[in-house]
Amino acid sequence: MNLFRTALLLAKKDLYSELKTKQILTTQIIFAGLVIVVFSFAFDPANNTTKAVIPGVIWVIIVFAGILGLNRSFISEQRNDTMQGLLVAPMESSSIYLGKFLANFAMMLVVEIVSIPFLFLLFDFKFNGSLGYFVLVIFLGSFGFIAIGTFLAALAANSKSSEMLLPLLLFPITTPILIGVVQATKIILTNMEKLSSAIAWIQLVTAYDVIFFVVCFLLIDYVLEV
Amino acid sequence: MSMNLEREKAVLTGTQLSEVKSTNLSKILFGATVISMLISLYFIFIFAAEETTMHAAQKIFYFHVSSAWLAFMAFFVTFVFSILFLIKRKRIFDTYAYVSAEIGIVFTIIVLTTGPIWAKSAWNTWWVWEPRLITTLILFFIYIAYIMIRQMDGVWDKKARLSSVFGIIGFADVPIVFFAIRWWQTKFHPIVFGDGPSQQGGGIESSMLVALLVTITAFTILYAYLLNKGVSFENMKIKVDRYKEKLREELEK
């Protein structure tokens, strides 16, 4: 259980420093708002067909805002070489990964809680689907996205141009998640009769989450070598 | 710095020994590639029956499928050598993984260009958003990312370590990508071999099957040749780097 304790400690450290500076979270939320505004130019909110693109827009916001946070999570450790400090500290590298994951995931959830209702409000979207399933899909989708994202952020942090490298690594790898959650969200928000196929998509995303969380856990030792 | 010197000596003698063997092997592979390619051309254009609706345009099928096979095999080899590198930490495994990924990318590009040419004559459209096409495209992007990691700055063992990790993750991702996209939409591609979930296997004439198998064999030999050549090029590059390092050290004295 030492693994979880140190991971929690590390997550707490990250969230505290975020609470002090409010750098990443503010940027993420403002960015999410800007994406919504840009989408209002691209798809006329007064038009009824716009409702069809809402599920896609939700995930575009999550992905783009998520990338901003993921980029910072390991870069911020480089300034005073604190990454070396973490690596030589008496803990496993998988608990560094777990801690970073928890911090990123918590921030991602905050961004979602703020920006998704904002999106529904601005696009005047009437929520007819099941709230429970919607929350479940959002949770599972962001879990997988942040899990693999944190791993690849650790990998990309070794490069000087990691901000450019991370999206290139992350987007192809996360395609199954993005397909799955967009389809599931679409069904849950617009067409509750086909719930069974939404559940099939949820199962696919869950399987992906489990597989990649385990794979990342095993391989992080090789990424975070001194 | 002391670590560099130690490695320098070990690799210099190692590559000189293997060089003699590899030139012989590459000559044999080159001859085999030329012969098997000529044979496969005969099989494709003379032996195999002409398709009834698509006529000569269908001949591109043999190159298309063989290139796809070669690309997948190359990526699988990258995957295997990535695992081997992480276990054994020998530079030669990393070189094999890198060269194989490069060959894979080249042949993925061939698949992605012959595909639309064929599709234009068969389906009357350049591109359709269909499981196998999208999977190949994503595969292409994954391995472009792999090459981007290789182009990172830093010492070789860090790059080798990180790209091995990505090689494993990327290859593990491909079946899931294919499954997800196939589930998403199944429309165009006939499933030629075996039964698909929604389409019956169309089947293939025996002369075409023979031609296809011959072409695939030829491409496999071509792959072996390219891999061999690529690895010896990489080894030469490494050797030149070592010599440069040595020279600089002598100048600095």
Q: What digits encode the pLDDT tens for the residues B170-207? A: 998 888 887 777 777 654 455 555 444 444 445 667 77
**ipTM for the complex shown:** 0.87
Structural domain harbouring A102 = 2-223
Domain total in chain A: 1
Residue of chain B minimizing CA distance to A216: B169
Does residue B46 surpass a pLDDT of 50?
Answer: yes
Residue B185: its pLDDT value, please? 66
Question: In the predicted model, what is the mean pLDDT of residues B89-101?
Answer: 92
Distances (CA, A) of A84 to A87, A152, B41: 5, 18, 58
Taking a C-beta distance cutoff of 8 angstroms, is the pair A205, A177 a contact?
A: yes
Interface touch B152/A173, C-beta < 8 Å: no
A226 touches chain B (CB under 8 A): no
Quickly tell me which residue has 């595969």 as its tokens: B139
The model's pTM: 0.85
Question: Best residue in B87, B129, B152, B178 to probe A by mutation, most A CBs within 10 Å?
Answer: B152
Name the residue among A105, A112, A108 with its Cα closest to residue A135.
Answer: A112
Residue among A168, A208, A215 whose CB faces B148 most closely: A168
3-state SS of B63-132 is: HHHHHHHHHHHHHHHHHHHHHHHHHHCCHHHHHHHHHHHHHHHHHHHHHHHHHHHHHHHHCCCCCCCCHH
Quickly tell me which residue has 């500290």 as its tokens: A89
The Cα of A118 is separated from the nearest Cα of chain B by a number of Å equal to 29
Which stretch of DSSP H or E encloses residue A28? Answer: helix A23-42
Residue of chain B minimizing CA distance to A181: B180
Q: Rounded CA gap, B179 and B96, in Å?
A: 29
Q: What is the pLDDT of residues B11-23, one digit of tens each?
A: 444 444 455 555 7
Question: In the predicted model, what is the mean pLDDT of residues B237-243?
Answer: 90
Mean of pLDDT over chain B: 81
Range scoring the smallest mean pLDDT among A106-115, A121-130, B195-204: B195-204
Residue of chain B minimizing CA distance to A148: B169
Interface touch A159/B152, C-beta < 8 Å: yes
Interface touch A222/B172, C-beta < 8 Å: no
Interface touch B173/A172, C-beta < 8 Å: yes
Residues of A whose CB is below 8 A from B168 = 215, 219
- In sequence order, the 6+-apart residues with CB closer than 8 A to the CB of B133 are B115, B127, B189
Residue of chain B minimizing CA distance to A182: B184
Chain B positions with Cβ closer than 8 Å to A: 86, 138, 141-142, 144-145, 148-149, 152-154, 158, 161-162, 164-166, 168-170, 172-173, 176-177, 179-181, 183-184
Which stretch of DSSP H or E encloses residue B39? Answer: helix B2-42
Question: In the predicted model, what is the mean pLDDT of residues B100-112?
Answer: 94
Q: Rounded CA gap, A116 and A125, in Å?
A: 11
Residue A91 dihedral angles phi and psi, to the nearest 5°: -150, 165
Name the residue among B207, B200, B224 with its Cα closest to residue B59.
Answer: B207
Give percent of chain B with pLDDT exceeding 90.
Answer: 34
Question: In the predicted model, what is the mean pLDDT of residues A196-221?
Answer: 90
Quickly tell me which residue has 């030329």 as its tokens: B34
Residue B4: its pLDDT value, please? 41
Please report, for chain B, the start and end positions of each structural domain, with discontinuous segments joined by +. 20-49, 55-188
Q: Rounded CA gap, B27 and B67, in Å?
A: 23
Interface touch B180/A169, C-beta < 8 Å: no
Name the residue among A157, A148, A160 with its Cα closest to residue A105.
Answer: A148
Q: Beta-carbon neighbour count of residue B17 at 10 Å? A: 8
Which of the pair, A195 or A150, is modelled with greater confidence? A150
